[in-house]
Amino acid sequence: MNKLLQLLKNPFAIIEDKKLLFFGIFSFIIGIFLAYYFQLQRQILRLNILETPTITQVIIWHFIIVASLAIMFFTLGKIINRKTRFLDILNTVLIALIPIYISFFQNFNNFLTVQTTQMLDAIKDGSIYTQSPPVLFILVGFIGLFLFIYYIYLLFIGFKTATNAKKTSHYVLFFVLLIITDILTSGLINSI
């Protein structure tokens, strides 16, 4: 149990690079198929459930996300520590996406799509104030929030491990760069 907690806390410090890369690429491929199957448009900091993407779009979107995050964090990593390796940053990005891939199961049987559409319709017609959200929708929302927070945590801890970042300014730059990368890639993904 202790080993599992250590693994969840920082897999980048425990598992060797080649195994991380293999597992990251494997999960990336599975993630593409999950996104297509559950009809989800994944971006860096958001998830669009009202799109119905093609497999080509999903593949391109996932490559854009991984490439953008890896390049931006590698650049920042090199500024922080010249010894930062691209492989470590790439592993960080690939492994951090695993909680997001798990969260795709929230749309099993189009659950999120249906619930979100109903909620948007209720907002439009004003009946949102008289309805209470389904308990299952709230539960699924909390699970999704937990997985999203864990995704951000893995990005951060992996970046910190790869770059040996220790200063508060490094952490601030990490989060600022994450938001900037999300804004830039969202525009690119939405234009495809």
pLDDT of residue 136 exceeding 90, the answer is no
Tens digit of each residue's pLDDT (9 = 90 or more) over 47-89: 877 567 889 999 999 999 999 999 999 999 999 999 999 999 9
Ranges of each domain in the chain: 2-190
Question: Is pLDDT at 131 greater than 80 in this prediction?
Answer: no
Token representation of residue 140: 């699924």
Write down the residue that tokens 């599992």 correspond to: 4
Strands (E), the chain: 41-42, 47-48
pLDDT of residue 50: 57
d(CA 95, CA 115): 29
User: How many whole angstroms separate alpha carbon 35 and alpha carbon 60?
Assistant: 12
What is the C-alpha to C-alpha distance for residues 15 and 95, in angstroms, rounded to an integer?
A: 11
Does the global pTM surpass 0.85? yes
Mean pLDDT for the stretch of residues 119-133? 79
Number of Cβ within 10 Å of residue 17's Cβ equals 13
Average pLDDT estimate for 163-173: 95
Residue 148 identity (one-letter amino acid): F
Q: Per-residue pLDDT tens for 12-56?
A: 989 999 999 999 999 999 999 999 999 888 888 888 775 678 899
Greater pLDDT, 111 or 151: 151
Q: What is the CB neighbour count within 10 angstroms for residue 80?
A: 21
In the predicted structure, residue 129 carries a pLDDT above the cut 80: no
Residue among 180, 98, 111 nearest 139 (CA):
111
Q: Does residue 148 have a pLDDT over 90?
A: yes
Using alpha carbons, select from 161, 48, 158, 176 the residue that is nearest to residue 100.
48
The pLDDT value recorded for residue 116 is 81
Enumerate residues 6+ apart whose C-beta is below 8 A from 59.
Answer: 32
Percent of the chain residues past pLDDT 90, beyond the cut: 64
pLDDT, position 95: 97
Amino acid at 104: F
Cα dihedral sign, 5-24-78-84 = positive
Ramachandran sector of residue 129 (left: φ over 0; alpha: ψ -120 to 50; beta: rest): alpha
